[in-house]
């Protein structure tokens, strides 16, 4: 395994605006992610050795499950699907997509034996648990927020979560589960200095007017979500098409793994392309990305850099990664950061799973509002 470092940084005087988006749990793609992670958790709750790769498609009144599951657990997938949809809030009798009436089609089979023999420690050529696939994963951390997350994606997630909170609390009866948010932040060098623009698009019932929606979002949701970043000169857009009655899977198709930038750093950090939801931690798309985030956080927390990005690459069936790369973007001691990673972190899949205790049913808590920046998740905690 080689560890390579790089240092590239824009001049501190550069001023720019960076924008990130989030989506609510009612967005069709997130409905799919939630179902996939709920099925994963149901299997891990009974059998921690479960191998799960579950994909989901939703459209109108249909839910399609596909993928590979090898597990000793006895899981009622249909019950899990309906309960997940119910918890999201799709229960309206006048909509095609509702928990009690969706048509569930399953194309789930067992994991291919050739993959299993490369992953399992007792059959892999390396004699250790091998990576479930080839690929590259990235982790990122920045000191611009206490959560060590980029501010735009953090605020976009808060907006979507606060809006969902108003809906679930029954503060108004016209909000529906599907929504999207977007936040633009002005930076001076690496430092965020002001929120400039906020966009909220929320599904609603047909009888409510746009002024009522805008009033709730502009006077309640946005100030609560932005906190100290709120100011009176914000540019605010609410449902800019004029209405958003047709939404969710009743109107739009959803598929697992289509919100990978929402799930990570809002575009501020690089992404290797692999999605997370529905995959057990033997899939390094998920566990490798979580561990890279963990390592990047440790670099920043140790004071070795203000920003850090870690890349790992794997070959299928092999335990040791092909490479590990550390980038501090000129904000710290890149050589010290690389040495810190080389000496302190084991990137073998089994070591990652053990260090972060990943064989637990914790994945439904990751699905919505980002897989990073939540203090309760093990890769967000010191070890």
Q: Where along the chain do its domains lie? A: 2-9+129-145+261-380, 15-23+151-247, 28-119
Both tokens of residue 94? 């006048």
Fold of 2-9+129-145+261-380: GMP Synthetase; Chain A, domain 3 (3.30.300)
Architecture, CATH, for domain 15-23+151-247: 2-Layer Sandwich (3.30)
Name the nearest CA neighbour of 275 among 345, 377, 363: 363
pLDDT at 116: 59
Q: Which residues contact 43 (CB under 8 A, 6 or more apart)?
A: 50, 52, 69, 71, 73, 75, 280
Both tokens of residue 362? 């914790």
pLDDT at 314: 95
- The greatest distance separating any two alpha carbons of the chain, rounded to the nearest whole angstrom, comes to 64
pLDDT at 130: 78
Which residues does residue 206 pair with via DSSP β-bridges, in sequence order?
A: none
In angstroms, the CA 165 to CA 180 distance is: 14
Instruction: Give 112's DSSP letter.
Output: P
Helices (H) and strands (E) in the chain, counts: 11, 12
Q: Give CA angle at 374 (382, 198), nearest 5°.
A: 140
Both tokens of residue 281? 């931690």
Assess contact for 239 and 206: CB atoms under 8 A.
no
Alpha helix (H) ranges present in the chain? 28-46, 77-88, 113-119, 151-168, 210-216, 222-226, 248-251, 260-263, 284-301, 334-344, 349-356
Return the residue matching tokens 């490798």. 288
C-beta contacts of 226-233 below 8 A and 24+ residues apart:
226/155, 226/158, 226/159, 226/195, 226/198, 229/151, 229/155, 229/194, 229/195, 230/195, 231/194, 231/195
Q: Which residues contact 76 (CB under 8 A, 6 or more apart)?
A: none
Catalogue the active-site residues.
27, 29-30, 55, 68, 180, 244, 252-253, 258-259, 279, 283, 285
CATH number of 28-119: 3.30.300.10
pLDDT at 9: 47
Per-residue pLDDT of the chain (383 residues; tens, 9 = 90+): 444 444 444 445 679 999 999 999 999 999 999 999 999 999 999 999 999 999 999 999 999 999 999 999 999 999 999 999 999 999 999 899 999 999 999 999 987 665 555 566 555 556 678 788 889 999 999 999 999 999 999 999 999 999 999 999 998 999 999 999 999 999 998 899 999 999 999 999 999 999 999 999 999 999 999 999 999 999 999 999 999 999 999 999 999 999 999 999 999 999 999 999 999 999 999 999 999 999 999 999 999 999 999 999 999 988 999 999 999 999 999 999 999 999 999 999 999 999 999 999 999 999 999 999 999 999 999 76
Instruction: Decide the pairing of beta strands 254-255 and 235-238.
Output: unpaired
Query: How many Cβ atoms sit within 10 Å of the Cβ of residue 252?
Result: 16
Assess contact for 118 and 111: CB atoms under 8 A.
no
pLDDT at 5: 44
């Amino acid at each position: 395994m080689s560890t390579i470092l790089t240092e590239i940084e824009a001049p501190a005087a550069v001023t720019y605006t960076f924008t990130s988006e989030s989506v609510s749990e009612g967005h069709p793609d997130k409905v799919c992610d939630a179902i996939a992670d709920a099925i994963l958790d149901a299997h891990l709750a009974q059998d921690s050795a479960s191998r799960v790769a579950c994909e989901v498609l939703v459209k109108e009144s249909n839910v399609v499950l596909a993928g590979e599951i090898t597990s000793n657990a006895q899981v009622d997938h249909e019950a899990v699907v309906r309960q997940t949809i119910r918890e999201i809030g799709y229960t309206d009798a006048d909509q095609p997509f509702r928990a009690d009436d969706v048509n569930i089609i399953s194309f789930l089979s067992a994991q291919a034996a050739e993959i299993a023999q490369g992953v399992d420690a007792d059959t892999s050529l390396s004699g250790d648990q091998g990576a479930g696939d080839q690929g590259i994963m990235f982790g990122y951390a920045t000191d611009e927020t206490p959560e060590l997350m980029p501010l735009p994606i953090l605020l976009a997630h808060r907006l979507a979560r606060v809006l969902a909170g108003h809906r679930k609390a029954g503060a108004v009866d016209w909000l529906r589960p599907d929504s999207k948010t977007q936040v633009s932040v002005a930076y001076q060098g690496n430092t965020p200095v002001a929120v400039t623009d906020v966009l909220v698009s929320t599904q609603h019932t047909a009888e409510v007017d746009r002024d009522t929606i805008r009033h709730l979002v502009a006077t309640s949701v946005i100030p609560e979500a932005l906190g100290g970043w709120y100011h009176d000169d914000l540019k605010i857009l609410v449902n800019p098409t004029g209405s958003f009655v047709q939404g969710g899977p009743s109107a739009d198709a959803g598929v697992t793994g289509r919100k990978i930038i929402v799930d990570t750093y809002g575009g501020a950090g690089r992404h290797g392309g692999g999605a997370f939801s529905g995959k057990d931690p033997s899939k390094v798309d998920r566990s490798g990305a979580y561990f890279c985030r963990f390592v990047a956080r440790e670099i920043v927390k140790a004071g070795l850099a203000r920003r850090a990005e870690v890349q790992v690459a794997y070959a299928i069936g092999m335990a040791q990664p092909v490479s590990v790369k550390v980038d501090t973007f000129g904000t710290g001691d890149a050589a010290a950061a690389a040495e810190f990673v080389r000496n302190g972190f084991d990137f073998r899949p089994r070591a990652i799973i053990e260090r972060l205790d990943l064989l637990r049913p914790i994945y439904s808590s990751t699905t919505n509002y980002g897989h990073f920046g939540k203090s309760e998740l093990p890769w967000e905690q010191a070890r």
